[in-house]
Amino acid sequence: MRVCRVGLIGAGGVAQRHARVLADFDDVRIVGVTDVVPEAATRLAESTRARFFPDVDALLAADLDAVYVCVPPFAHGAAEEAVLAAGPALFVEKPLALDRETALRINRLVDERGAVTAVGHHWRYLTVVDEARRILADRPVRLVAGTWLDRVPPVAWWPRRDRSGGPVVEQAAHVLDLARHLVGEVTEVWAAGNGTPPEVAGADVDGATAAALRFATGAVGTLGTTCALGWKHRAGLEVYADGLALSVGEDGLLVRDGDGERRIAGDPEQGRRDVDRAFVDAVRGIGADVRVPYSEALRTHLLALAVAESAATGALVRVPPLEPANV
């Protein structure tokens, strides 16, 4: 098979990361880049020996096998629709959108087209996450405590609710996805936002959010986020079962049981590389290890939106199972 011809929509921080990873794969060629800021696309195109394209339609005319949609949360929808109509496989960065409707609409199109898709939940590829899942396989989880304790990321759209969706949707989605992966589906949530935005211009997101989660298995959990720090403090999940405590995130895995404590160091780059490798392999038809296709990310997105809705309204929000009737 010919090399996998890839296009990039969005040329910001995460697109640059994917471009670095993809450039190391012998069987991938980054063909073109487009961005609403032409200078950003030109810069990334030059550094990857790709071509600049002025818009999505022009990019999609370049005979592509796969397209990465690396736009901010508020900008999802039209790009995915165009890619799915044109035919290439689709990689989308999380979060899928700001709202339910856009993500549900794209999910229906993915289904109709039978498209190969993947979403940037690269934590699912971490070997420490595989190990945590193996350890928890026959241990009913009782309690979960997720955290994302960080600074405000240095992109202008982030502190605005109508641009990013807020910290739970934009960042803690990684933690919620991990909770679903290790513990199962969440059926109801209640959350509170502190109502105090971080001290950056134009911010209207909560500086801190606390949520309570009930899982279908009977496990209960919490999620705590803050963006009030000047550094990334911690992001991950603590999981407690009978006689077992486990803490896992990009940094590594800590396990404690009756036999003592052991630590396994994490390698964030490994997850970031493997998520792209698995997608390319699926596109080329030489692998089947896409762990988070669009429909799976949709479940995480609906959960994150439920937490954000509860924080905004103060109401307990049930997370409906994703039956065809809901899609």
Ligand X SMILES: NC(=O)c1ccc[n+]([C@@H]2O[C@H](COP(=O)([O-])OP(=O)(O)OC[C@H]3O[C@@H](n4cnc5c(N)ncnc54)[C@H](O)[C@@H]3O)[C@@H](O)[C@H]2O)c1
Query: Which residue has tokens 């796969």?
Result: 66
Q: Would you say 67 or 219 has its CB closer to ligand X?
A: 67
Q: Would you say 282 or 297 has its CB closer to ligand X?
A: 297
Q: Would you say 16 or 107 has its CB closer to ligand X?
A: 16
Distance of closest approach, residue 28 Cβ to ligand X, in angstroms: 18
Distance of closest approach, residue 243 Cβ to ligand X, in angstroms: 33
Distance of closest approach, residue 12 Cβ to ligand X, in angstroms: 2
* Nearest residue relative to ligand X (C-beta): 12
Distance of closest approach, residue 91 Cβ to ligand X, in angstroms: 11
For helices 294-313 and 173-183, what crossing angle results, to 10°? 120
Q: Which residues bind ligand X (CB under 6 A)?
A: 9-15, 35-37, 40, 70-73, 75, 79, 93-95, 120, 122, 155, 170
Q: Would you say 14 or 189 has its CB closer to ligand X?
A: 14
- Residues 171, 13: Cα–Cα separation, whole Å: 15
Q: Would you say 198 or 240 has its CB closer to ligand X?
A: 198
Question: How crowded is residue 11: how many other Cβ atoms within 10 Å of its Cβ?
Answer: 27
Q: Would you say 41 or 132 has its CB closer to ligand X?
A: 41
Burial class (CB in 10 A: 0-12, 13-18, 19+), 264: middle
- Residues 171, 179: Cα–Cα separation, whole Å: 14
Distance of closest approach, residue 279 Cβ to ligand X, in angstroms: 13
Q: Would you say 154 or 324 has its CB closer to ligand X?
A: 154
Distance of closest approach, residue 242 Cβ to ligand X, in angstroms: 33
- Residues 42, 260: Cα–Cα separation, whole Å: 54
179 CB-near residues (< 8 Å, 6+ apart):
144, 146, 186, 213, 215, 221, 223, 237
Amino acid at 156: A
N-to-C CA span, the chain: 35
- Give the containing element (helix H, strand E) for 135: helix 127-136
Distance of closest approach, residue 259 Cβ to ligand X, in angstroms: 34
* Among the listed residues 33, 27, 61, the one whose alpha carbon sits nearest the alpha carbon of residue 47: 33
